[in-house]
Amino acid sequence: MKVYINGKLVDKRAARISVFDHGLLYGDGVFEGIRAYNGRIFMLERHIERLYASAQAISLPIPISREKMIADILRTCRANRIRNGYIRPIVTRGVGTLGLNPFVCRNPQVIIIAAKIQLYPPELYEKGLELVTVGTVRNLPEAINPRIKSLNYLNNVLAKIEALNAGVMECIMLNAQGFVAEASGDNVFAVRGERILTPPSWCGALEGITRGVVMELAREMGYDVSEEILTRYDLYTADEVFLTGTAAEIIGVPRIDRRTIGNGRPGPVTRRLTAAFRQLVSRSGTPI
């Protein structure tokens, strides 16, 4: 396996960064998770646009252009013979001191990893993924804006620990006001009749790329899609609940906090959207 570091492809055993990199010391950096299907990278331009927006929001200059980033992602995928896989471009603040000052870091590091991923077992896409609500509250948007996809993921990791300790693989995170924000690594949707609802980013939700694609597909199908404040009651009483994410794609939720959602199986809207999403990814994307 080859890993891209600052313009060079090196064997993964030789892929190293300094222990003084602020990405390691403070989680100071940004990243994206991108999928490749059938030799094409899905929504590559949208991911790159978000990567550069996240970097700009934290005053992190990415030392290569968007066009070069795209070319180097393709180069890394070709070196690893990726046809179906997961790509992670990362930009760290670079080497600095043990102090917090980010402006002593003169050379941001660009890393690209292209490998395989399987977030959930295939059978869960048929029977659904059970969730619990966790006590770890989503970061305040005024503290860390959820639109920034940063390397500082401890908030999500703590929520994931709670979920795993409760015997499930994913969870619902609430914000400080008690409203639904997102899962530890996915966006949350609720279905009520012909309406599909998802929390807005100011409630603590990342504006996921897959989230946006699913919203577009649902509108094309004639559903009323909107961003709305959601409570746990709204999820418990929904006809269907499903999650979306780059790695997760679309996965139905049969139970939350041991309450059955709908008929306890991924519902018809979830299945329709899943079929439409899989059809889309099979015929679109940037060729590797």
Cα–Cα distance, 263 to 269 (Å, whole number) = 13
Closest CA to 33 of 92, 95, 113: 113
The angle formed by the CA atoms of residues 155, 52 and 40, to the nearest 5 degrees, is 95
CATH code of 2-115, in short, is: 3.30.470.10
Which positions are annotated as active-site residues?
149
Question: Who's near 210: CB < 8 A, 6+ residues apart?
Answer: 187, 244, 245, 246, 248, 249, 250, 277
CATH code of 124-283, in short, is: 3.20.10.10
> Kind and range of the H or E element at 259?
strand 259-260
The amino acid at residue 100 is L
Q: What is the pLDDT along the chain (288 residues), one digit of tens a residue?
A: 999 999 999 999 999 999 999 999 999 999 999 999 999 999 999 999 999 999 999 999 999 999 999 999 999 999 999 999 999 999 999 999 999 999 999 999 999 999 988 778 899 999 999 999 999 999 999 999 999 999 999 999 999 999 999 999 999 999 999 999 999 999 999 999 999 999 999 999 999 999 999 999 999 999 999 999 999 999 999 999 999 999 999 999 999 999 999 999 999 999 999 999 999 999 999 999
Task: Give domain limits for the chain.
Answer: 2-115, 124-283
Dig out the tokens for 259 from the structure.
């309450």
Cα–Cα distance, 47 to 73 (Å, whole number) = 12
